[in-house]
Structure 1
Amino acid sequence: MGLWSRIFGSGASPEPRAAIQPAGGGVVITTSEQLEEALRTGNVTASGMTVTPDKAMRASAVYACVRIRSGVPANMPLHIKRRVDARTRDDASDHPLWSIFRRRPNRWQTPSQFKRMMTAHLLLRGNAYALIVRSRGAVKELIPLHPDRVKCEQLDSLALEYTYTRKDGRRVVLTQAEVFHLVGLTLDGVHGVSVITYARETIGLSLAQEDHGATVFKYGARPSTVLVHPKALGPEGIENLRSSLDEFRAGGDKEGRALILEEGIEVKPLAMTAEDAQWIESRKFSRSDIAMFFGVPPHMLGDTEKSTSWGTGIASQTQGFVTFCAEDDLTTWEETINRDLIVDNDNDIYARFNRASLVKGDIKMRWEAHVKALQWGVMSPNEVRALEDLNPREGGDIYYPPPNTAGGDDKPEKDDGDESSQAA
């Protein structure tokens, strides 16, 4: 039985959508202890909100953090390089992995879609898995597997073993050589730590604040009113008056019309309470905490209240995100590809992201870097043109000598003690 049939079932011509997992994925429960834990806790936070990776994405800050971080490796070109000698590197465009990461990783996804999806799994669940489909030792496809359906265990031999639960409930055991496994922050060296697990209370608070805000704006943002009657009203009269007023305040075709009251009834407005008005301020703290968990600067989520929107402050924070956050994701991808997808006899092959594309949108910074690279002989004009997707020009393969910053050969003559030298 082939690998595809073991994972996704038998079929004459498997369709690409047969391997697609639902967005939610769900939680696979295989033991009575897991069932008891799910029924007892249900991922309920102190705020009363149930937080799962998919429900967490409904929080705007979580969605923005996942979108920003997964977009970095998704949009950055991934090169497969070959070491020619100790000092020379070439593009290995003839290697099977070049086609995987530059054209089509599987039958229905583009490289950016695949990298974005896998990075999102990594951020929300701490692990990302893909089935490695090989033919004669060469990687032909990478089929993403939803993390909620994969269980990873380390055997006594220290090798990893993966159990995938199919949609029909059958479980398939996969070896370490059959799975491409991205691991985030880990405490045991095998399983990645999910941000949602440790940020569950913060995210639950954010979701609760959104629900509260919706309720406030539905009933309290427009001032409520108190009806003052000079005499006492019976229960039936109170209920009729309240229903009439609620119908008037419901909006729709009655919006803006005059309210007619009888029997000397007076209307006095009640403004929104100070506690309700503070929910906006508290949401800002939740947004900053969520950004901290994901390592994204708050200004990238639109929170520029305590920092200038332009200038060196924002530029420094953005560079910090590239250095300490995006670089972590890129290194994880590169090292996992080198470990899981490159066989031992291909030691000269390695994966490398083109980090120069991070400044692709800043033409001033990009061309300043090109000028310095040309000036100091780091790159030739044709190499710069290749980075800009331009054709080479004749005579453009030269390297300019760097400028002599020591002042050239104009050095003072050595003092021999005579009068002419002293006078000079």
Structure 2
Amino acid sequence: MTHPTSEGRPNQSGSVILREWNATRQAMKAQTGAVPVSEITRGTEAFGWITGMAGPGRAVTERSAMSVAAVYACVSLIGGAIASLVMGEYERNGADNMPVQSDLWYLFNEEMHPRWSAAVGWEYGVQSLLLHGDLFQRIHRVTRYSSAIESFEPLHPLCVNPMRYGERMVYSVWDPVTGQVEYIDQDDIIHVPGPGFDGYRGLSQIRHVLRLPVSASIAAGELSEGILNDGLRPDLVLKTSTKLDEAKINKLRNQWLEKYSGLRNSAAPVVLDGDMDIKQISMSASDAQLLENRKLTADDICGIFGVMPYMIGRPEKTTTLGSSVEQFGISFVKYTLQRHIVKIEQEANRKVIRSPTKFVRYDVSSLERGDTSARFTAYRTAAGRAGEPGFMTVNEIRRKENLPPVPDGDQLFKGTNDAAKPNPPAAE
């Protein structure tokens, strides 16, 4: 729909709803005014949004959180797992769900945008979901009036601001390259929020649950680095009953720094003369239990992301969820990935597919796949054996292993009756 402008030409810049909403918002902003910089103080929401600090402590940002090994391992593990899954389109045919040839398959699984491959785009979106609490992707259509989709553009959560207009959502998207702000209707934004969704956004993990573990991990890392740089020597004080003037104190301090400070001099023995004594005034690495504290912090981070510690290279942490590769994969899908992929599937169905008879679904069989022996034993049962009818054909099994079909491989084994008859003379 177009509306004439004052010059008699059609104006096609956005929909009627978005233009009305934008005019109302600009009027409200003119009445309320902006928040003065002087009011952005520690403890306010604006201060926490800008610095990543919700209270006292170190600023936790996306980059500082990813500098912690446990956070990086968990985020890359979950993001890489979801990015490796294939999203297929299916059609409901009575009680059966049949796969269909979809024009969206290439966008979902190969190239979602001219600047983004599908795997990189999904991994980036999952990272945004795990750290900022929201996954955003803009749906680009062929034209404003077409339902055909040409690409999905991943968006950084801090560049998107969800707002409500009546019963619908409107998203303001800031382009960091051009500095322009564009308002987009909810039907053209894929929005997957995390836990704590309040109708606008999910809770930001780096501002809430990750703030303390990441800050503690960074502090422990800085302390460990300082101890190593000082040659593993704790802070010491020299005591003597003899009165020393300032010149002697400075000379002694400089000699100590020259002879005993730094990693190169960490093994040098300390030599004291006269009645001078040495006393430790700080805890050593052992006393501070740095290794134990860092392990506990890593366990907390694994619990936040729902990742078993053994999956990020911590074999000392055992699990009771199984002992085989297949059982590990099933537990990872069930308890870690399922919470994310279900929301992604539902958002794609309601914003992209928009059909009661069609839907998209991730194929997680690659993650739940067992070892070679377990797979071949299952295939033997699926193909059928003497007295047991099969439920998969030979070609269906070969397709699972990415093998080409064979002639007469589409016949389903029904049991003993169609088994090959033994040749009595040959048997003798």
TM-score relative to the length of structure 1: 0.76
State how far apart, in whole Å, the 1-side matches of 2:229 and 2:99 are.
62
Match of 2:346 in 1: 335
Conserved in 2, the CA contact under 8 Å of 1:96 and 1:140? Answer: no
Matched, 1:388 2:388: no
1:205–1:272 Cα change, 3 Å: closer
What letter matches 1:332 in structure 2? K
1:243–1:313 Cα change, 3 Å: farther
Match of 1:320 in 2: 331
Deviates more, 1:33-42 or 1:135-144: 33-42
State how far apart, in whole Å, the 2-side matches of 1:224 and 1:394 are.
79
Matches within 5 A, 1:297-312: 297-307=308-318, 312=323
Conserved in 2, the CA contact under 8 Å of 1:73 and 1:116? Answer: yes
CA RMSD of aligned residues (A): 3.6
Match of 1:206 in 2: 217
Conserved in 1, the CA contact under 8 Å of 2:321 and 2:327? Answer: no
What letter matches 2:245 in structure 1? G
1:32 to 24, 30, 35: 35
What letter matches 1:147 in structure 2? P
Match of 1:74 in 2: 83
1:242 is displaced (CA, Å) by: 1.8
1:368 is displaced (CA, Å) by: 3.4
1:396 is displaced (CA, Å) by: 0.9
State how far apart, in whole Å, the 2-side matches of 1:330 and 1:402 are.
39
Matched, 1:138 2:141: no
State how far apart, in whole Å, the 2-side matches of 1:71 and 1:33 are.
42
What letter matches 1:140 in structure 2? E
Highest relative contact order (Cα 8 Å, sep 6+), 1 or 2?
1
State how far apart, in whole Å, the 1-side matches of 2:68 and 2:288 are.
20
State how far apart, in whole Å, the 1-side matches of 2:272 and 2:405 are.
88
Matches within 5 A, 1:9-48: 31-32=34-35, 36=40, 37=44, 40-41=47-48, 42-44=51-53, 48=57
Conserved in 2, the CA contact under 8 Å of 1:150 and 1:164? Answer: yes
2:159 to 146, 149, 157: 149
Matched, 1:192 2:202: yes
Report the secondary structure of 1:341's partner residue. Answer: helix
How many residue pairs align between the two structures? Answer: 373
What letter matches 1:32 in structure 2? V
- Structure 1 alignment gaps of length 5 or more: 5-29, 405-424
Matched, 1:219 2:219: no
State how far apart, in whole Å, the 1-side matches of 2:201 and 2:53 are.
23
1:124 is displaced (CA, Å) by: 1.1
1:315 is displaced (CA, Å) by: 7.4
Conserved in 1, the CA contact under 8 Å of 2:175 and 2:181? Answer: yes
1:357 is displaced (CA, Å) by: 0.6
Match of 1:373 in 2: 382
Deviates more, 1:115-124 or 1:185-194: 185-194
State how far apart, in whole Å, the 2-side matches of 1:229 and 1:171 are.
69
Report the secondary structure of 1:350's partner residue. Answer: strand
State how far apart, in whole Å, the 2-side matches of 1:262 and 1:192 are.
61
Matches within 5 A, 1:205-354: 205-219=216-230, 221-222=232-233, 231-251=242-262, 255=265, 273=284, 276-307=287-318, 312=323, 319-344=330-355, 347-354=356-363
Conserved in 1, the CA contact under 8 Å of 2:260 and 2:268? Answer: no
Match of 1:119 in 2: 126
1:51–1:283 Cα change, 3 Å: same
- 1:254-279 C-alpha deviation (Å, 9 max, x unpaired): 65897797965878685953774312
1:96 to 91, 103, 119: 103
What letter matches 1:103 in structure 2? E
Deviating beyond 6 angstroms after TM superposition, the runs of 4 or more aligned structure 1 residues are: 1-4, 256-263, 308-311
Deviates more, 1:331-340 or 1:206-215: 206-215
State how far apart, in whole Å, the 2-side matches of 1:328 and 1:256 are.
50
State how far apart, in whole Å, the 1-side matches of 2:231 and 2:320 are.
33
State how far apart, in whole Å, the 1-side matches of 2:13 and 2:114 are.
16
- 1:30-63 C-alpha deviation (Å, 9 max, x unpaired): 9417972367554336662111233222222211
Match of 2:181 in 1: 171
Conserved in 2, the CA contact under 8 Å of 1:45 and 1:201? Answer: no
What letter matches 2:194 in structure 1? G
Conserved in 2, the CA contact under 8 Å of 1:3 and 1:133? Answer: no
What letter matches 2:81 in structure 1? V
State how far apart, in whole Å, the 1-side matches of 2:56 and 2:184 are.
40
- 1:268-321 C-alpha deviation (Å, 9 max, x unpaired): 685953774312212222111111111111222333434279973997666433
2:170 to 154, 161, 176: 161
State how far apart, in whole Å, the 1-side matches of 2:332 and 2:259 are.
52
1:314–1:250 Cα change, 3 Å: farther
What letter matches 1:394 in structure 2? P
1:181 to 188, 191, 197: 191
State how far apart, in whole Å, the 1-side matches of 2:394 and 2:128 are.
41
Match of 2:365 in 1: 356
Report the secondary structure of 1:216's partner residue. Answer: helix
Conserved in 2, the CA contact under 8 Å of 1:45 and 1:204? Answer: no
Match of 1:20 in 2: none
Conserved in 2, the CA contact under 8 Å of 1:46 and 1:201? Answer: no
State how far apart, in whole Å, the 2-side matches of 1:362 and 1:159 are.
48
State how far apart, in whole Å, the 1-side matches of 2:100 and 2:171 are.
33
- Structure 2 alignment gaps of length 5 or more: 1-10, 15-32, 418-428
Conserved in 2, the CA contact under 8 Å of 1:152 and 1:161? Answer: yes
1:195–1:242 Cα change, 3 Å: same
1:3–1:366 Cα change, 3 Å: farther
TM-score relative to the length of structure 2: 0.75
Conserved in 1, the CA contact under 8 Å of 2:231 and 2:262? Answer: no
Match of 2:135 in 1: 128
State how far apart, in whole Å, the 1-side matches of 2:206 and 2:161 are.
18
What letter matches 1:383 in structure 2? E
What letter matches 1:124 in structure 2? L
- 1:357-398 C-alpha deviation (Å, 9 max, x unpaired): 113473333333333332363321111111211100111112
